[in-house]
Structure 1
Amino acid sequence: MCGTCGCADPANEVSMTNPETGVKTLLKNGVDHGHGHKHDHDHDDHHHEGDDVPHMHGPGGEIISLEAAVLGKNDKIAAQNRGWFQGRGVIALNIVSSPGAGKTTLLESTIRQMKDEVEITVVEGDQMTANDAERIQQAGARALQINTGAGCHLEADMIAAAARSLDPQPGSIMMIENVGNLVCPAMFDLGEKMKIAVISTTEGEDKPIKYPHMFRAVEWVVINKMDLAPHVDFDEETCRKNILQVNPGAKILCLSARTGEGMDEWCAALGALQA
């Protein structure tokens, strides 16, 4: 998990940028995931007052302990986020995919089609740049960019800060575009109403069975880039079978965010969440 990826780098910084004002806020400086301390001390002394989870040394022991601490703290903040969203009647949706599946294009098309019906705000997660948040702003929605540096996913405390800054209106939808990754985001609850996976026809039909943990964690799966399906020999029936093999209850929507094919059904499904 994150004990072995870039998230554990003590030099990693996480920041939030408002593309409208250009204001950048540092969210984490030297990310330790709330572990309470950094491991720059003598390993013979491991008593830490206030530690919630004991350290277990030996092969894999400390990693397991750290994972429990990371997820435990994240889940507490996620529960607070969920209460915050529910108390304000805000529908928060966690959009996940591999890089290049078309999440941002889908959000742009959604905003343009639904802007007269409902307010949509967007939290954009990427390792670097504010490119996607700027695209969302140009499409007509307020957005914040969270740059995770070496991090491979968004976490609940980042969403708490973004939600306070965006202050979405009651009855609105807050889209969270997670960092492009079909592994770690499956484990991190952000306080969302649900996770929605986006896959594209150009990725092939087997993503759901290659990444089953993610596809079990979602409620909806969007198959994007249907306009390209004939050109890449995409087998929709096989893809649907693979999705349902992993997650029999998943709602599947096929569309092309670029051409508009299937967008009416997608937007109608989003609108029904407000009922």
Structure 2
Amino acid sequence: MCVTCGCGEGEVRIDGAAVQHDHVHEHVHADGTRHAHEHPHDHEHTHDAAPAHSHAPGVTPTRRVQIEQDILAKNKAYAQANRRLLSERGIFALNLVSSPGSGKTTLLCKTIELLKQQTVAVIEGDQQTSQDADRIRATGAQAIQINTGKGCHLDAHMVGHALAQLKLAEESLLMIENVGNLVCPAAFDLGEAHKVVILSVTEGEDKPIKYPDMFRAASLMLLNKTDLLPYLNYDVKAAIGYARRVNPEIKVIQVSATSGAGMDEWLDFLRAGVAQARAVRRH
């Protein structure tokens, strides 16, 4: 996982402002001994920039597992707090995950356009730039950008900061567009109702069995860019079969933001989720 890939060493910024981020660092002393420094923060979201730390170039397998467990336990606690906040306000939240270039942002923009009267807010995750958040704002929807620096995924603490800054309408729809990556985001609950994995027809049909954790964690797979199928040698049946091999319960919708194919079914899924979140809140 991210213990060895350098994730977390960079500065996290939300709409350009640096935030101090909860993380676990492994430090190495001159005598070669190691220990983890934990930096817990609550959700007051009034942090200054995090101090720089030097990381060990490698850790033992046992220590790596322990650090990963610590990271995921902390993330789970933040995710539960996010989920409680969203539930209390009747907000239906989705975590959109995919490879880079799958068409997430284009699909989001089209979705917002078609939803019309439904209030939508978006949390955008990228290592750098605010280009995707700018595209979302151009639709009239509220959006906030999280730049993860070297980080390869969003986590629940980052999302908690963003939730504190967003003016979320009650009984609305929140779409979290994760960093383009089919590995680490699978392990991190953000407090969402569902993970939605987006696989485009310009990628390999075998992505689900190459990255099974992501497809196993998702409730829904959107097979995107289907308008390109006449120009590609792509086996739709095989792609869906691979997804259901790792997750027999996964729902699949074939969509195209360009042609509009499948968008009605996707919008029905969103409206049903919003209605369910609203009913739970009012119960």
Q: What TM-score do the two structures reach when normalised by structure 2? A: 0.86
Which consecutive residues of structure 1, in runs of 5 or more, have no partner in the other structure? 18-23
Give the counterpart letter for 2:18 in structure 1: L
What is the aligned length? Answer: 258
Q: For 1:192, what is the secondary structure of its paired residue?
A: coil
Query: 1-side partners of 2:31 and 2:175: how far apart?
Result: 43
Aligned-pair distance for 1:258? Answer: 1.8
Query: 2-side partners of 1:224 and 1:49: how far apart?
Result: 42
- The answer as to whether partners of 1:15 and 1:25 remain within 8 angstroms in 2 is yes
Aligned-pair distance for 1:5? Answer: 1.1
Query: 1-side partners of 2:238 and 2:79: how far apart?
Result: 35
1:63 aligned partner? 64
Please identify, of 231-240 and 145-154, the stretch whose mean Cα deviation from structure 2 is larger: 231-240
- The answer as to whether partners of 1:208 and 1:246 remain within 8 angstroms in 2 is yes
Query: 1-side partners of 2:36 and 2:148: how far apart?
Result: 28
Q: For 2:7, what is the secondary structure of its paired residue?
A: helix
2:96 aligned partner? 95
2:202 corresponds to 1:202: yes
2:17 aligned partner? 25
Deviations 1:36-67 (A, max 9, x none): x6626445666789899xxxx97323222211
Query: 2-side partners of 1:147 and 1:45: how far apart?
Result: 33
Deviations 1:104-124 (A, max 9, x none): 0110000000021x1100000
1:176 aligned partner? 176
Q: 1:112 to 1:43 in 2, by over 3 A?
A: farther
1:73 aligned partner? 74
Deviations 1:56-113 (A, max 9, x none): x973232222111111111110111110110110111000000000000110000000
Query: 1-side partners of 2:39 and 2:115: how far apart?
Result: 47
- The answer as to whether partners of 2:103 and 2:224 remain within 8 angstroms in 1 is yes
- The answer as to whether partners of 2:27 and 2:36 remain within 8 angstroms in 1 is no
- The answer as to whether partners of 2:123 and 2:176 remain within 8 angstroms in 1 is yes
2:31 corresponds to 1:39: no
Query: 1-side partners of 2:211 and 2:33: how far apart?
Result: 40
Which consecutive residues of structure 2, in runs of 5 or more, have no partner in the other structure? 41-57, 276-283
- The answer as to whether partners of 1:115 and 1:140 remain within 8 angstroms in 2 is no
1:15 aligned partner? 13
Query: 1-side partners of 2:113 and 2:14: how far apart?
Result: 24
Q: 1:159 to 1:50 in 2, by over 3 A?
A: closer
Aligned-pair distance for 1:274? Answer: 1.9
2:85 aligned partner? 84
Q: What TM-score do the two structures reach when normalised by structure 1? A: 0.88
Query: 2-side partners of 1:47 and 1:166: how far apart?
Result: 37
Aligned-pair distance for 1:249? Answer: 0.6
Instruction: Give the fraction of aligned pairs with identical amino acids, expressed as a percent.
Output: 47
Query: 2-side partners of 1:49 and 1:257: how far apart?
Result: 46
Give the counterpart letter for 1:244 in structure 2: R
